Structure 1
Amino acid sequence: MENTALLKAIIDNAIDGIITINELGLIETINPSGCRLFNYEPAEVIGKNIAMLMPNPDSALHDGYLSAYRQTGKANIIGIGREVIGLRKDGVVFPFRLGISEVQFSGRKIYTGFIHDLTREKEAEEKLQDYAMHLEEQVEDRTRLLMESVKALEEAKEKVSYSLAHEKELSQMKSRFVSMASHEFRTPLSSIQLSAILVEKYAEQSDQLSIAKHIGKIKNCVSALTGILNDFLSLERLEAGKVSLSISEFDVVKFAEETTEEMQMIAKENQKIVYEHTGSLSLIRADQALLKNCIINLIGNAIKYSGQNTFIEFNTALTEYQLTVVIKDDGIGIPETDQKHLFEAFFRAHNTGNIPGTGLGLNIVARYTELMHGQINFKSKVDLGTSFTLIFPTNNG
């Protein structure tokens, strides 16, 4: 009796569904997990043909397979050793893996089916396929952007080749580009390659936590490469004089809140971007794209040069005549001796160490700010953080 009670407890608490049927295909027992899988109460299925738990055409063919099995003894019953589609009470179908064993009991044959729900595994496979497809598309896009960037740099070189001073400047820029790009591209590309290999490995083991971890690394690396390419393209367009203002009216509060949400997604662990607006006005006329580029660059730097568990302040203030944007962090700060070079192309402060970066972001911000007839100011102390202030006319007059 004790063994019987133990066996019943094991079956009742099994994670997988367990169903027994007789030689006629009628259900004799079903455990709680089996009931949950198919959304039936035991009384609704016991005594019924097992075919009720299958969608067509399996449902219609099941009795024929069972009859053939009784006559030949060959395991050709639907689903033995492979994936099967189940039919829930509400009509929803789901995939599961079915194992069947034959048991001789009290002079008759009983078939026991072990049902393992594959819904989560299938969803994970689909997500992985979607991520892989999305990654391929992004790699193609980034490759195209890189080719466009290289082509643009060559065109820029041709335009300034007539001037010795400009030729020298371009040569120096190209040298910095090659030196910086060889390092900045190699690290994320190596990380993408390694993470892709590990994702494939963990997919075979259905290790969803590890898959998610490495997919996150791939996405972060792709995002970093995108930022680098965008900086190069922005610099080229500025050098070629292709950037012009496109003024439109928009709600600066809604714009800033959306930008905050976007940047929060790439913040470090427990980093919090806190946004606040001052003033009753919110509608302005300005170049939204250039303003967003400036803000994203500054918040991106605040994220990059601040540690985990820190706050980044993002404030806007709007009056009838001007928009003020302040972005403040508690990060590593900028050495005083480096501050006079801060807005030069490819310049990076000496305390940035191994933190990745192109040295182009602040140069682009300063030049976009000038195009919008604004001004940029900053205050910074080493280990105490940095505060940038942008001031723009609102063009509301």
Structure 2
Amino acid sequence: MENAALLVAIIKNAIDGIITIDDRGKIESINPAACNLFQYLPEEVIGKNVSFLMPPPDKQQHDEYLERYQRTGQAHIIGIGRDVIGLKKDGTQFPFRLGVSEVQFSGRKIYAGFIHDISHQREAEERLKEYAIHLEDLVNERTQSLEATVEELRTAQEDLSLSLEKEKELGLLKSRFVSIASHEFRTPLTSIQLSVSLIEKYAEPFNNPNIIKHVGKIKHAVGNLTSILNDFLSLEKLESGKQEPTFHDFNLVKFSEAITEEMQGLAKQNQNIIYQHTGTKSAIRLDQNLLKNCIINLINNAIKYSGENTFIGFTTEINERECIITVSDNGIGIPDSDQKHLFEAFFRAHNTGTIPGTGLGLNIVARYTNLMNGTINFNSEVNQGTLFTITFPMS
């Protein structure tokens, strides 16, 4: 009796629904969990065929299903049962997993059906399907977007390649134009310079100040044009990659003294270029032509942007670690707002006024310095002057 009471208690308190039927499919018992699932009272279902708890087609297939179990004699549990649709009293349907076991009781066969509600599982599966479909849609959308982006990139690459090709052609055309134009200008400039020198010589006996004045203006203008042409030719070589440094050993002091003497002839009235060298060493290994262009450009700027009756400092120093070259003046200086652009091509500070120049000189100096593995820096204050420092390693 105690065992029977225990069994009844287990069935009544089971989480899953349990229904027992006879060999004809009529319900003999139903536990509370099954009543809750189907929304029936026990007296409403006991004695009825269990198929009334199933909608078509499970209702029509039930007898065949039961007969199959009777014929095979196999016991079925929830884990290996089949999924069935249940029909509640209010007409709504729900999915459950049915496991059937054959039980011998009082000399006859009864069948116990174990009903496991899988509504939440099905809902989760549906949500999972929806997520999967949504994810697939997102993947398709992203794939299409990616394909569109790839196509745009391919088109952009083609456009860029075409633009680069055109730019290359324009670069070659520009280089040829600059080279041809510069050489074509050099010929008449050389003739003008020679003619001016002859006029100056032939005019000496007359000692006419007006002739001397205008000859000087012509020579100065020719010098400016020559300087502009040199800048453009230098830039063209740099842009086309034709400018390569050639390193040689030479005496920096003698080299600098020659430049000082040359540039002193171009200085304004009572402008004096003061050269000094520091250190016992004077030998250096650099490209003389590139270095000369750098120094002349810096000294020429100092002459242009300083007034008469001023001093221009030019120093060199060689120590164990580096070679340091400086050019300083006490001229108009460089405004703070312009200093970050100073080494850009074609840039000129806003306070240069009518002082002639192409804005290429310092760009060329910086690039020549870089070609020789050096660095260039400067300090400047408006109306106080400017100091340029070029440094080369001694390795």
TM-score, normalised to structure 1's length?
0.50
Q: 1:207 to 1:243 in 2, by over 3 A?
A: same
Query: How do residues 231-270 of structure 1 correspond to structure 2 at under 5 angstroms?
Result: 231-270=231-270
In structure 2, the partner of 1:383 is: 383
366-375 or 203-212: which moved more? Answer: 203-212
Give the CA deviation at 1:357.
0.2
Distance 1:205 1:330 in 2: 40
**1:274-293 equivalence runs, <5 A:** 274-293=274-293
Once the two structures are TM-superposed, the CA of residue 365 in structure 1 deviates from its matched residue by 0.5
Instruction: Evaluate the alpha carbon distance shift between residue 204 and residue 339 of structure 1 in structure 2; reply closer, same or farther with a 3 A threshold.
Output: closer
Judging changes above 3 Å, is the alpha-carbon distance between structure 1 residues 351 and 280 closer, same or farther for their aligned structure 2 residues?
Answer: same
For residues 356 and 376 of structure 1, what CA distance do their matches in structure 2 show?
23
8 Å CA contact 1:286–1:394 kept in 2: the answer is: no
1:335 corresponding residue in structure 2: 335
Q: Would the alpha carbon gap of residues 165 and 353 (structure 1) be closer, same or farther in structure 2, given more than 3 Å must change? A: farther
- For residues 136-215 of structure 1, the aligned pairs below 5 Å read 163-164=163-164, 167=167, 203=203, 206-215=206-215
Cα offset, 1:216, TM superposition: 2.3
Structure 1 letter corresponding to 2:355: I
The 3 A distance-change label for structure 1 pair 313 and 341 is same
Name the residue aligned to 1:102. Answer: none
Deviation at 1:226, TM superposition (A): 1.0
How far is 1:203 from its partner?
Answer: 4.6
Shift of 1:322: 1.5
Q: Deviations over 1:45-65 (max 9, x none)?
A: xxxxxxxxxxxxxxxxxxxxx
Q: Given the two structures, how large is their TM-score scaled by the length of structure 2? A: 0.50
Matched residue type, 2:272: K
Counterpart of 1:357 in structure 2 is 357
Q: Deviations over 1:211-247 (max 9, x none)?
A: 3333222222211111100000000000000011111
How far is the alpha carbon of 1:161 from its aligned partner?
Answer: 9.6
> Do the aligned partners of residues 231 and 330 (structure 1) sit closer, same or farther apart at CA in structure 2, a change above 3 Å counting?
same
SS of residue paired to 2:206: coil
**What's the counterpart of residue 12 of structure 2?**
none
Aligned equivalents of 1:318, 1:377: Cα separation in 2? 17
Which residue is 1:109 aligned to? none
Q: State the identity as a percent.
A: 65
Please state how far the C-alpha of 1:209 moved relative to its aligned partner: 3.5
| Structure 2 counterpart of 1:325 | 325
1:295 maps to 295
SS at match of 1:313: strand
Q: Is the 8 A contact 1:161 1:167 kept in 2?
A: no
User: Displacement of 1:167 after TM fit?
Assistant: 3.3
**Number of residue equivalences:** 221
Question: Which residue type is aligned with residue 369 of structure 2?
Answer: T
**d(CA) in 2 for partners of 1:294 and 1:205?**
40
Partner-residue secondary structure (3-state), 1:341: coil
